[in-house]
Amino acid sequence: MSKQGKTLLEVKNMFKSFGPTIALKDVNLTIKRGQIHGLVGENGSGKSTVTSIASGLQDCDSGEMIYLGKAWHPESMIHAREQGMSMILQEANTISDVTVAENLFAGKEAEFTKMGMVSKKKMVQAADELLQKFGVEHIKGGDNINRYSFEDRKLIEICRAVTDETQLLVVDETTTALSHIGRALIYKLINKMAAEGKAVIFISHDMDEIIEVCNILTVLRDGNIIGTLKKEEMDPKKIRYMMVGREIGEAYYREDYDPSHSGEVVLEFKNASFNEIKNFNLKLHKGQILGLGGLSGSGMRDVGRAAFGLERLKEGSIECKGNPIEGIMSAIDNNMGYISKNRDREALIGEGSIRDNIIMPSIRGLSGKMMYLSKKASTKVAQHQIDAFSIKCNNENQYVSTLSGGNKQKVSFAKWMAKDSDIFIMDCPTRGVDIGVKQFMYQLISQMKADNKAILMISEELPELIGMCDQIIIMKDNEVSANITRDKDLKQTDIIEYII
């Protein structure tokens, strides 16, 4: 008899608080076999909390869970994984400074141990086989994980999380962290799981993706379940309304099609060679939004890092208003800001307060000549950004590590707004933020252009590039493959051929 449609996980009357924050209020959720069950809601609505409780990362305050027909009290994520329930976290979850194989088999070393000795050779061999099975041959089991990008590390996490025994997989806002190849891989994987009578909980802020991928959808708002929609009921307007509790306009991006800007160059790459990129030239002007698109490994991300002084130049130069960029300090001194895609490792101090993170780039300015940092002044700056970005928190003293993923991204964006930089390097600026805040960020970027600021926007999201940029440079295999000017008739299909 087919297993499809049978209940796999039931969450009943679940409550969870963190101090004064009530993250879940009487949540009830049923996941059935064959479902790719979407979970949507604004940043901080409780999506990660409910799924991480089910997957053994933390406990609930009260409530009941039934998994595979039995009461479910996972002791840890490893225990849950052994019982067939795995979660791919929104944040990076690999161990640095060890091999890919050691990451893949963390906690399973006994499988490769003989006479008390772990056979690294066997572990690497098994890792390579596992990676091959998932179709990610470019990652090697014996390599140190540090040499792999953020996107590749996410692929490693997927290979670690999913086994033949996995019955329920939670994918928490993972697709925006993945390259195109990674996305294709995960879509294939989850469709296969659903077809085999397993189930997936899929969390994403990309409405088109959710509607395309999921066959059922539950909406959360402020820790409450608002409703569940079948595939035929999934209308973007309706979903947005359920998420936010009010009508939200569809106008996201710039409405003008005028690509003009000042002739003044503020950032210039002159025959710059770094990493795998050779003789790279680029000019960013005042009042310009310049897009950099391509696949994740195309080199576009390296250009952003080099612009902010994070890559060592082998040849040529990078200049900001005529001054050489030779490291992060020279970038900051030239009033540049950088929103990294890798927010946990490069953008935020988790064990720092929201206030400390927000004022970090502005400390010199706030301290004044006396080098005295007034708490009152820094709190005012932080509070202004918390309000502007609707950062969901108790107050400005809350540690960033305790914020939801999207709210962390808002802090990462807001700290450069607080400094009032002139030049912004934005790598995936809207990663993980909900539709309302995305809309706000795009308005802010448009306003920056109007204020004659310069923006280098790096993104794999073609609609975002088409919607916002004056000029789009496409990169492929570490070279420029196209240079496209803003036009109202520009479509994704006009660009894709230059990407792949």
Ligand X SMILES: Nc1ncnc2c1ncn2[C@@H]1O[C@H](COP(=O)(O)OP(=O)(O)OP(=O)(O)O)[C@@H](O)[C@H]1O
Check if the beta carbon of residue 144 is closer than 8 Å to that of residue 153. Answer: no
**Cβ distance to ligand X smaller for residue 173 or 427:** 173
412 binds ligand X (CB under 6 A): no
- What is the nearest approach in angstroms of ligand X to the Cβ of residue 466? 25
46 binds ligand X (CB under 6 A): yes
Determine which helix (DSSP H) or strand (DSSP E) holds 76, and give its type and residue range.
none
Q: Could you write out the DSSP letters of every residue in 193-246?
A: HHHTT-EEEEE-S-HHHHHHH-SEEEEEETTEEEEEEEGGG--HHHHHHHHHSS
Which one of residues 23, 131, 199, 200 is an interface residue with ligand X (CB under 6 A)?
23
Applying CB under 6 A, the span of 40-48, 148-156, 235-243, 244-252 interacting with ligand X comes to 40-48
**Cβ distance to ligand X smaller for residue 223 or 293:** 223
41 binds ligand X (CB under 6 A): yes
Which one of residues 31, 38, 45, 156 is an interface residue with ligand X (CB under 6 A)?
45
**Cβ distance to ligand X smaller for residue 277 or 433:** 433
- What is the nearest approach in angstroms of ligand X to the Cβ of residue 443? 20
Cα 320 to Cα 154, 263, 293, 303, distances in angstroms: 33, 15, 22, 14
Binders in 77-106 for ligand X, by CB under 6 A: 90
55 binds ligand X (CB under 6 A): no
SS3 81: helix
174 binds ligand X (CB under 6 A): no
- What is the nearest approach in angstroms of ligand X to the Cβ of residue 408? 8
CB within 8 Å of 27: residues ≥ 6 apart: 11, 13, 14, 15, 46, 50, 63, 220, 223, 224, 225
Q: Total number of residues binding ligand X (CB under 6 A)? A: 21
43 binds ligand X (CB under 6 A): yes
Which one of residues 31, 35, 38, 44 is an interface residue with ligand X (CB under 6 A)?
44
Q: Could you write out the DSSP letters of every residue in 141-162?
A: TTSBGGGS-HHHHHHHHHHHH-
49 binds ligand X (CB under 6 A): yes
**Cβ distance to ligand X smaller for residue 25 or 278:** 25
Applying CB under 6 A, the span of 43-51, 153-161, 343-351, 356-364 interacting with ligand X comes to 43-51
Which one of residues 404, 439, 459, 471 is an interface residue with ligand X (CB under 6 A)?
404
Q: Could you write out the DSSP letters of every residue in 267-315?
A: EEEEEEEETTEEEEEEEEETT-EEEEEE-GGGSHHHHHHHHTT-S--SE
Check if the beta carbon of residue 4 is closer than 8 Å to that of residue 34. Answer: yes
18 binds ligand X (CB under 6 A): yes
Check if the beta carbon of residue 39 is closer than 8 Å to that of residue 201. Answer: yes
CA distance linking residue 404 with residue 408, whole number of Å: 6
Which one of residues 33, 47, 183, 431 is an interface residue with ligand X (CB under 6 A)?
47
429 binds ligand X (CB under 6 A): no
392 binds ligand X (CB under 6 A): yes
407 binds ligand X (CB under 6 A): yes
- What is the nearest approach in angstroms of ligand X to the Cβ of residue 365? 29
Bridge partners, residue 70, by sequence: 67
403 binds ligand X (CB under 6 A): yes
SS3 397: coil
Cα 319 to Cα 271, 302, 310, distances in angstroms: 11, 16, 14
Which one of residues 297, 299, 406, 429 is an interface residue with ligand X (CB under 6 A)?
406
Check if the beta carbon of residue 226 is closer than 8 Å to that of residue 25. Answer: no
405 binds ligand X (CB under 6 A): yes
Q: Which residues bind ligand X (CB under 6 A)?
A: 18, 21, 23, 41, 43-49, 90, 173, 392, 402-407, 432
